Amino acid sequence: MGKPTEITAGVTSFLTMAYIAVVNPAILSASGMPKSNIFFATCVSSAIATGVMGLWARYPFCLAPGMGLNAFFAFTVCGQMGVPWPTALAAVFISGLVFLALSLLGLRERIIAGVPTDLVRAIAAGIGLFIAFIGLQHAGIVVDHPQTLVTIGDLTARPTFVALVGLGVTAVLISVQVRGAVLIGIAATATMAVITGVSPVPEGIISMPSLPRETLGAAIPALPDLLRPEMIIVVFTMLFLDFFDTMGTLLALGYTAGKIDASGKLPRAKQAFAADAIGTLVGSLLGTSTVTTYIESGAGVVAGGRTGQTALVVAALFLLTLPFFPLVAAVPAIATAPALISVGAIMFASAAGINWKDPAIALPAFITILAMPATFSISNGLGLGFVIFAATHLVARRFRNVTPAVYVIAVAFILYFALGAK
């Protein structure tokens, strides 16, 4: 795999996840933190975590503050619970420390090694379907409906039409195996969006961000506030959500990239898990929520990324984003929608390897795949899949076919759902 391919893959991954540099400040600013501080923290923590992934774990996977986790931080912890944002950052810091310890001790690696191969394939397919669903939403092809929850959007609307044309271009390029097809598709769609007036022309090129003076290190003085019972629950929730989101994403990306070995294990999982823990620690000290591995990394994998060079390119681009915020902000969601839909379709191919003839495997695999987009949560899909997998094998008395890790995860998810998880 030549270096040019890794560079193309890195640029492709970055463009599909660059929206986080814009969206994360918009969400976390509801907690009271300044947007400029959050923007700086988002780019730097993403760069450091992705750099660690590339240099140490040597995988083409990319990291950034997690969607969902940032909403939990801003709207639940700081909003509904009324927790000050420095205390919430302290909770993120402690969760990062715990994750780092679990990663270095190899506990996370042992758990991920116990996941059955069929569930690994189902997780990859489910996340692929989830990515495609997000892309359909960004394109306006799927919209909400008060009676049926979802329905088809207005395909004649200009943004949706641009996205459909971009999807067609991307699909053709991928079909004829053009190198950098996904990246070209993003660029073509973004250009069409500007030409048709769907997306505004960038207002500028360079705009230096402010240093995170208000949020830098604010988590440390707030650490004593975590001794309250409600904050212990907050830390546990952050740990739980990030653990299983990262586990599912790593398994899915590892399978798509051909990194899962014959025994169904992901080599160097310890280093990969440590990358998100380090990113979370750095992010909490700079001013952002939990950092996690991004499913959008699949775009770079499909574009040919197979080594840590891809991740290093993404890390560099996040740092370069700091002064080029106007250009990043100008890439509309519809420009990345065709890439997400195409990548999702390719990732879904892993479902072909599932043993669909065995009901004890087919049912939990199907629920895993369906629940991720249906509940808009990787963790919920994982949880339902593990619980049903354990239950079907218990009923069928096939105890030897299931590792202890599966039962431990299933019990953890039962408790999680019982506590009213969303």
304-332 tens-digit pLDDT: 899 999 999 999 999 998 987 776 666 67
The answer for residues whose C-beta is within 8 angstroms of residue 77's C-beta and 6 or more apart is 31, 83, 88, 91, 234
pLDDT in the model for residue 1: 44
pLDDT in the model for residue 43: 95
281-294 tens-digit pLDDT: 999 999 999 999 99
CA 379 – CA 230 distance, rounded (Å): 22
Domain positions in the chain are 3-125+204-209+217-328, 355-418
- CA of residue 341 relative to chain centroid, distance: 15
Q: Is the pLDDT of residue 66 over 50?
A: yes
Which structure tokens are listed for 90?
A: 């302290």
Q: Which of 10, 171, 67 is nearest to 379 (CA)?
A: 67
DSSP letter string over 176-236?
TT-TTHHHHHHHHHHHHHHHTTSSPPPS-S--PPPP-TTTTTTTTTTGGGGGSHHHHHHHH
If you average pLDDT over each of 69-78, 117-126, 390-399, which comes out highest?
390-399
201-215 tens-digit pLDDT: 877 777 777 688 899
CA 372 – CA 125 distance, rounded (Å): 10
CA 276 – CA 330 distance, rounded (Å): 28
Instruction: Provide the residue type at 254 as one letter.
Output: G
185-203 tens-digit pLDDT: 888 998 899 899 988 887 7
Name the residue with tokens 């993003």: 186
With beta carbons less than 8 A apart as the criterion, state whether 360 and 398 touch: yes
Q: Which of 94, 112, 103, 130 is nearest to 238 (CA)?
A: 94
φ/ψ region of 261 (left if φ > 0, alpha if ψ in -120 to 50, else beta) reads beta
Which helix (H) or strand (E) is 143 found in, with range? strand 142-145
Which helix (H) or strand (E) is 65 found in, with range? strand 63-65
pLDDT in the model for residue 2: 53
Helices (H), 269-332: 269-286, 297-302, 308-321, 325-329
233-284 tens-digit pLDDT: 788 878 877 887 788 888 889 888 888 877 778 889 899 999 999 999 999 9
Which structure tokens are listed for 174?
A: 């991928």
Q: Is the pLDDT of residue 13 over 50?
A: yes
pLDDT band with cut points at 50, 70 and 90 for residue 422: low
pLDDT, mean over the chain: 87
Q: Is the pLDDT of residue 402 over 70?
A: yes
With beta carbons less than 8 A apart as the criterion, state whether 88 and 71 touch: no
363-387 tens-digit pLDDT: 999 999 999 889 887 778 888 999 9
76-86 tens-digit pLDDT: 789 878 999 99
CA 99 – CA 290 distance, rounded (Å): 11
With beta carbons less than 8 A apart as the criterion, state whether 277 and 45 touch: no
Q: Which of 78, 58, 60 is nearest to 69 (CA)?
A: 78
Q: How many CA within 13 A on the CB side of residue 122?
A: 28
What end-to-end distance do the CA atoms of the chain give, in Å? 41
